[in-house]
Amino acid sequence: MENQHRLEDNNGSVIRDFKDQVILVTGGSRGIGKAITKAFAALGASCVINYRSDKTAAAELIEELDSDRHTSLQANIANPSQAEKLIQDVLARYGQIDVLINNAGMGSHHPIDEMNYADWQRHWQSILNLNLTAGSNLSYLVSQDMIKRKKGRIINVTSRGAFRGEPLQPAYGASKAAMNSLTQSLAYSLAPYQIFVGAVAPGFVETDMAKERLEGPRGDGIRSQSPMNRVAKPEEVAQAVILMASSPIWMTGGIFDVNGASYFRT
């Protein structure tokens, strides 16, 4: 049974063992976050699921994982005080955070030619608060302990939209581009402390957040963006996160594209 805690390459060599690792996943109860949580749990990690409001989904996932190693903690991480308490609570229970996955995020339809000024500001403020500032604050809070321990990993879930733009939800694209930039800034700053910082940038993923668009009149067009004529499964993004968490520290600052060849950046 020990092998279930190991990630192996094609030659069967052990890349990394997560058995003694504590993983904090924001937005960890649904969609991509749920898949990430399950992937790390299957490799032996102790997972902390952060959720904002869906207590039922978080409880169901903890029950599905079926181990007292895991826990769920409610916090609106867009609130700096709640973000700070979340990190304090995890450290109090586990004594360490080995990997922070900044996954929680939101998007909304707010094209510039359809919004009034007040609504434009509202969309930008709410999206940037969660998609950018919350991840920045959590990275700061987690890094303080990681600096002392001279080890740790921070992985940000960004988006293909950071590179190609998002005309129907520009604040979303801008927030993800900023997270990519933050990823590389922190990678440089934290490298002397042996702390890895990287990002995974998916395209469309089959989640509740994308369900309406995928099932609507634009669905076929979205799927056809990839030559595989589909969008990603959450589990595929989770595997990219696992690979990044398993990468040599020399790959710090890297951004993995996970978009099914639907967009190539230069």
Report the alpha-carbon distance of residue 99 to residue 31 in Å, rounded: 19
* First CA to last CA distance, the chain: 44
* Location of structure tokens 């007040």: 118
Set 94, 140, 172, 193: catalytic member:
172
Residue 188 annotated as catalytic: no
Provide the CA 265 distance to its chain's centre, in angstroms: 21
Kindly list the catalytic residues.
Answer: 172
